[in-house]
Structure 1
């Protein structure tokens, strides 16, 4: 008896390649899936919960209330006290970023010109602060910058000053401490760019009679610009959100956004207001970084192309 079952339909010739293409296009997502889930779980979900918390109402006797309101954002955006805190935070982060650029870029260029083994030794010295806890580093600066610290004792011994200079619990001390903490990040960013720098191009410019400053401005600096920009973004973001150094060297009165949010969370227990300060700090940080990045790129492009 003959088999009456229908014969299978012929498979088009182009079906197999499409299946292979689909698998190839899905491979990156499958490989990045675990890291993406970890990123969402450790960063995006807490940020989302903080954003939701910032819209809750708060009562001094009942705590966080299940009522959604914009009163926290209105309070922060309309109060001059918080305006001063955010302006102080932005000024501190900008000053630290400028100092890191002025110190880190020449330092990295000199480091790249060194020979072994001095290059490795000085690179370890520069990156050494990253191996020490930020609290320990900050306490060390508090001892150095104190009224009876090593710096003031040296200045008075040399006759430069007749009395101690107040550096602890001032913005100057905070900027010094943060610059020491964050310079290695600038060095790392510029160092990664310097590894791609072609020294033959620089030597060719010198052989054609170009002055050293012109070689640096028109040959070296354009190639270093991506590293400087990325390092500036990292330093600015870390300085604006820093907590330990401003808290220890700045004290309770010299508040920045991070210490203000900390006080609202743990001292007054006003979690929604603390979450509001944290979210506004994040939004301002992102806006300033993106705006400055585009402006600097446009300015440098106009200078070098002109």
Structure 2
């Protein structure tokens, strides 16, 4: 990465002449600071950062956003962009994201997107109650945002507020009928509540919305295997899912996707099947 550096003296417009000889009464001259130009430069850098983020060049985008905040430290949109990027870089920094986003919220409390981003940051720090409160605040301003409704459902799910979680997932689907992750997560909640048949129905519905997705297919396989009677079908579904996306062979990754203890236990049992073990050894 090309590391860009700026001279502080040049940045502030300070003219530095040659050192005067002794006995000269020459006073230094400081050019006036052009605050509007600094703001404009900061916004330009922020736009560059946003464009880089669109191409998932998050680390490069973060570097520009950090410079942008130095030039425009009281611009809430620039602070919000910086906070969001802290969550998307290769090594996320949720604490730094929260600090930037809290500043943005103070400057622009009616910006729903800032509240939504804060919710994501607090969720990353496993502060699920704060995440829920931030998302609730944003949804009071922008109530029909499907992504925020989904995120609030996840926060409620981690707080064991299962009925509220399902309500939020359903609200997300009402806003976006193709939003398969919300349908999928209703299945996660139902399985943790002991309703395996209901969970399987939700996962099948999510597959109808997003054919070929590994997560709901593996979840169906684990649930069927735990019920017994459809072992061969469970192994077939699991094999297809794992061949499609090997990340789901990792139980820690599944936990990160909000798979609960019951479903993780069922999946671990499925992974003991000889045919699945053979596949796992090759992945």
**Is the TM-score greater than 0.5?**
no
TM-score of the aligned structures, taking structure 1 as reference length: 0.21
Query: Which structure's CA Rg is the greater one?
Result: 1
Q: Which has the higher helix share?
A: 1
The structure, 1 or 2, with the larger RCO (C-alpha pairs under 8 Å, 6+ apart) is 1
TM-score of the aligned structures, taking structure 2 as reference length: 0.22
